[in-house]
Amino acid sequence: MGRRKIWLEEALEAIVHGEEIDIQTFEEDNVRVTFQQSTEGVPRFAVVVAADYPEVVIVTVYNFEEDKYEYIEGQKRWRRKK
């Protein structure tokens, strides 16, 4: 997280107040949820959380890069470019 200049407080804020942008279910108890940054402006990062009951763990964080993602203004969210 430090290498990407995303601090723990920001990541926790994204999890609590940010928008859920993706849910992946791999097995019955193996769920990954992606939250984008909670902000009034254009979000700059997302947090991936493993929600494997009873533990919740931050798996990774990443910055939205314009060469890989596009911002959809009407939806206020980033989308991976195809």
For residue 43, give the DSSP letter. -
Structural domain includes residue 1: no
- Strands of 55-63's sheet, edge to edge? 19-27, 30-36, 45-52, 55-63
| pTM as predicted | 0.83
* pLDDT reading at 12 higher than 80: yes
* CA distances from residue 58 to 6, 49, 53, 82 in whole angstroms, order as listed: 12, 4, 13, 26
pLDDT tens track for 37-72: 999 889 999 999 998 877 889 999 999 988 899 998
Structural domain includes residue 76: yes
How many domains does the chain fold into? 1
* CA distances from residue 78 to 25, 52, 73 in whole angstroms, order as listed: 21, 25, 9
Predicted pLDDT of residue 32: 93
Structural domain includes residue 2: no
Host domain of residue 39: 8-80
Structural domain includes residue 49: yes
Predicted pLDDT of residue 59: 93
Structural domain includes residue 3: no
Give 13: exposed, middle or buried? Use CB within 10 Å, 0-12, 13-18, 19+. Answer: middle
